Amino acid sequence: MTQPLPAPHVPRSEMGAEYLKTLSQRDADPADLIKQVVADDLVTVAYQGRFLASPVFLSAAERRTLAADLLMVHTLLTQLPERLFGGDIGALARAVGMTDTQASVVERAAKAGPQLLPLARSDLYRGADGFKLLELNITSALGGFENAGINRAMLTHPALSEFVAEHRLGYVDTLRGIVDTLFAECAAHIEEGRRPVVALVDWPESFLSYEPRLKVMAALFDGMGIDAIPCHVGHIRENDGHLELDGQRIDVVYRFFLVEEIVTPADAALVEPILRAVEKGTVGLFSRLDAELYGNKGALAMLSDDRNRSAFSAEERACIDRFLPWTRYVRRTATDLHGQEIDLVQHAVAQQQDLILKPTLLHGGNGIVPGWTVTADEWKARLSEAMDGPYVVQQRIRPLPETFPADEGNGTQELFLNWGVFLTDPTVTGEDGYNGCLVRGSTDPQVGVVSMSGGARVACAFHETSEPA
């Protein structure tokens, strides 16, 4: 018999605290939930058994607010060319640190590609004054698409399934939302009544490690009426204006390769057949290559910068102030939290423990330097290297600790969470645009980046709804 779980002594949602009580009252072993998930081969490929022993819970109010804020930020980011650059997408691309080659590629793709519908995954911390948006990953290459498999596996445990039914909770199938967005964005290239052929296209180097997850996506797509083929850009061939893979004509290129990987003329040559086919209208591209331009950390800095406030309405400024941490380009001067001109280096040195340095183009935590994890001399050196380059400094958000069942044995543990809330277009997927959530949790209160590479574990999310899951 397991020992009763102690009452939570650090902040957690009311629903989460209630769930811990339920486990204790039922004398349920939370580790059994992990066993159910590990047994699912498709989920285990992605996370290799590194799961938290409890889901997280969102109230209906939290879900609505998060969806509304994320949609507004997404809209503002995708409107930056018009609001700040006179409609010049290339100027925005160069301003956020893209090379001339990359800027040219995103300009071409934006002109020729399908309509860019909202599709993103946020990185959020829940701080003392609510959720704060650290990054918004706007791209089709979103990790975490398998998260509904964790929900389904955990619901086989009677303690959770009964709790979910009693409290009328639900979850969103993130992959279903992504597929609905793909069909809406590339409708011109998908014949009704015929299974579309979708190439899941990565970059040659990253394909070596990511191929197993693309095979998982292909297997899941098969059950959704899609013939999906994992590959990289070097596998695709052009034939009479169309794209082919192993002799099979491609309807849609599902893009997992990133603009940051297109560095040299040889790299640009690899994607040239795809761009030509998109410009001819013979293939759909999901998502457009300029998507990452709007999800760039430098674009968030433009929203945060007081010098641009006149470009936004009072309602938009209120969302920015409430939802975004202070973020500025690494330049000689900037504005502080109160809009006053400051010497950025002096400010960053004085506030080292409360700032994090980030490259604008890289992803997955690469190149990030949390000020509180390095010496003063190293911090100054990194700031100097970043000066006038594609880097931003961002205010540190201290996530509130949350109480979870221990991964092994009895008792509880305190975790610090990164909330990966997915966003889609409400007109495509219905409701409010919330498209599920994958949480990563770390036991380290000083963690700079909550990531799988840093030892984090993952959990799924349930939210309040009028209907049971």
| 345 close to 328: Cβ distance less than 8 angstroms | no
Please report the pLDDT score of residue 89 as a whole number: 95
DSSP structure class, residue 51: B
Q: Which two tokens stand for residue 412?
A: 């509880």
363 and 434 co-located in one domain: no
SS3 helix, strand, coil % of the chain, rounded to 5?
45, 25, 35
344 and 389 co-located in one domain: yes
Question: Amino acid letter at 48?
Answer: Q
418 and 390 co-located in one domain: no
**Among 380, 395, 410, which residue terminates a domain?**
395
Question: Is the predicted pLDDT of residue 362 greater than 80, yes or no?
Answer: no
pLDDT averaged over the chain? 90
Mean pLDDT is lowest, of 10-14, 104-108, 146-150, for: 10-14
Tell me the average pLDDT across 324-332.
96
Question: Using CA atoms, how far apart are residues 175 and 43, in angstroms rounded to an integer?
Answer: 13
Evaluate whether residue 331 is within a structural domain. Answer: no
pTM (predicted TM-score): 0.92
Question: Using CA atoms, how far apart are residues 299 and 292, in angstroms rounded to an integer?
Answer: 10
Task: Band the pLDDT of 31: cuts 50, 70, 90.
Answer: confident
Task: Band the pLDDT of 69: cuts 50, 70, 90.
Answer: very high
Question: Is the predicted pLDDT of residue 53 greater than 60, yes or no?
Answer: yes
**Total domain count, the chain:** 2
Evaluate whether residue 238 is within a structural domain. Answer: no
Structural domain including 376 reads 340-395
Evaluate whether residue 91 is within a structural domain. Answer: no
The domain spanning residue 360 has which CATH number? 3.30.1490
Q: Which two tokens stand for residue 300?
A: 């968030």
| 372 close to 394: Cβ distance less than 8 angstroms | no
Question: Is the predicted pLDDT of residue 1 greater than 50, yes or no?
Answer: no
350 and 443 co-located in one domain: no
Please report the pLDDT score of residue 315 as a whole number: 97
Evaluate whether residue 269 is within a structural domain. Answer: no
Q: Can the peptide bond before residue 24 be classed as cis, meaning omega within 30 degrees of 0? A: no
Question: Is the predicted pLDDT of residue 325 greater than 60, yes or no?
Answer: yes
Tell me the average pLDDT across 284-302.
94
Evaluate whether residue 231 is within a structural domain. Answer: no
Evaluate whether residue 313 is within a structural domain. Answer: no
Beta partners for residue 328, in sequence order: 393
Evaluate whether residue 203 is within a structural domain. Answer: no
**Among 395, 417, 439, which residue terminates a domain?**
395
Question: Is the predicted pLDDT of residue 9 greater than 70, yes or no?
Answer: no
Question: Using CA atoms, how far apart are residues 343 and 336, in angstroms rounded to an integer?
Answer: 9
H or E stretch at 455: none
DSSP per residue, 370-426: EGGGS-HHHHHHHHHHHTTSSEEEEE---PPPEEEE-SSSSSEEEEEEEEEEEEE-H
415 and 454 co-located in one domain: yes
Question: Using CA atoms, how far apart are residues 30 and 3, in angstroms rounded to an integer?
Answer: 12
Please report the pLDDT score of residue 29 as a whole number: 83
26 and 135 co-located in one domain: yes
